[in-house]
Structure 1
Amino acid sequence: MKLKTVLLGTTNSLAFLPLRIGVGLVMAGHGAQKLFGWFGGYGLQGTGQFFAENLGLKPGVLMAAFAGGTEFFGGVLLLLGLLTRLAGLSLVGTMLVAIITAHPDAFFASDNGMEYPLTLLLASLTLTIGGAGALSVDRQLVK
């Protein structure tokens, strides 16, 4: 099987479109908070300080750049339906780190638990497995 088909191959179904758009918007927004301080976020310096001091992720600014970059650019790629499997897999890894470092002690979001990042992880995993679907750049590139 060709690498192009593995990375970009997908169905012509619209079933993944709402999931791709929803997760893409959420992840791009989260990344923008970390990187740029948009939408009430703390920006790279503030997020980096939090990562280093509260989560033990050092160097904090570099780790915040990795997390924010993956979330922002991965979210944008999902919105476009471009390299969806790669973007989804990257977001799975980022959400796994979030669960392990920031939300390990509870399940429900009301207790700062893993419920929300786990949902994003599973949605991203679904897109990694299924691809972008119809109305995506991936679909157009493999025609």
Structure 2
Amino acid sequence: MNASAPRGNAGLAAATLMLRIAGGGFLLPHGLGKLLGWFGGPGLAGFAAELQQFGFPSAQPLPLLLALVQTLSGLAVLLGLWTRVSAALAAVFIATTVVVAVPKGWFWMHGGMEYPLMWLLVLLGLVAAGGGAWSLDGLRRRGAA
């Protein structure tokens, strides 16, 4: 951190870092669970069955494509690499879980939308703010200056 940087800039850098750790740290293991079956995840075959259960097409390549989107966007958000685009892509993915959960009401304990909506808002915050100074995007900006 630059000691001469205004205090607000350090606060914004810290805030975006925390949002990236939360958002990317949430997406990445869930994506790897769908993609590779890690962390108790369903793997591609199980994810295809989940998609079918919710009325989505389950034929390949859709499960693979969605698992890759979640995994790669999670990693990119975590690192702050192409943050706005990565978070926007992830937000589209998460928005579908919000839509699926709407009929079950608000509370997540009953399958409602509050939990996925919270993650959607985290991702949309990163779309608005970008990766911040303490990100690979910030490093690229400083290198270009």
Distance 1:89 1:58 in 2: 22
Distance 2:108 2:87 in 1: 22
Distance 1:59 1:21 in 2: 30
1:44–1:61 CA contact under 8 A, matched in 2:
no
Unaligned runs of 5+ in 2: 1-8
1:85–1:128 CA contact under 8 A, matched in 2:
yes
Larger radius of gyration: 2
Distance 2:60 2:42 in 1: 12
In the alignment, what sits opposite 1:108?
A: 107
Deviation at 1:21, TM superposition (A): 0.8
Deviation at 1:116, TM superposition (A): 1.1
Q: What's the TM-score once normalised by structure 1's chain length?
A: 0.85
Distance 1:19 1:72 in 2: 17
- State, as a whole percentage, how many aligned pairs show the same letter: 32
Distance 2:57 2:133 in 1: 40
Distance 2:23 2:58 in 1: 28
The Cα offsets for residues 32-83 of structure 1, whole Å up to 9 and x where unpaired, read as 111111111110011102212x111113443322322121111100111100
The code of the aligned residue for 1:20 comes to R
Helix, strand or coil: the match of 2:23?
A: helix
Higher relative contact order (CA 8 A, sep 6+): 1
Aligned length, in residue pairs: 131
Q: What's the TM-score once normalised by structure 2's chain length?
A: 0.84
In the alignment, what sits opposite 1:27?
A: 27
In the TM superposition, 1:1-143 aligns within 5 A as 13-52=13-52, 54-101=53-100, 103-105=101-103, 106-143=105-142
Distance 2:30 2:56 in 1: 18
| Aligned-residue CA RMSD (Å) | 1.5
Distance 1:138 1:63 in 2: 29
1:32–1:72 CA contact under 8 A, matched in 2:
yes
Unaligned runs of 5+ in 1: 1-10
The code of the aligned residue for 2:46 comes to G
Distance 1:16 1:123 in 2: 10
Distance 2:111 2:15 in 1: 31
Distance 2:68 2:99 in 1: 19
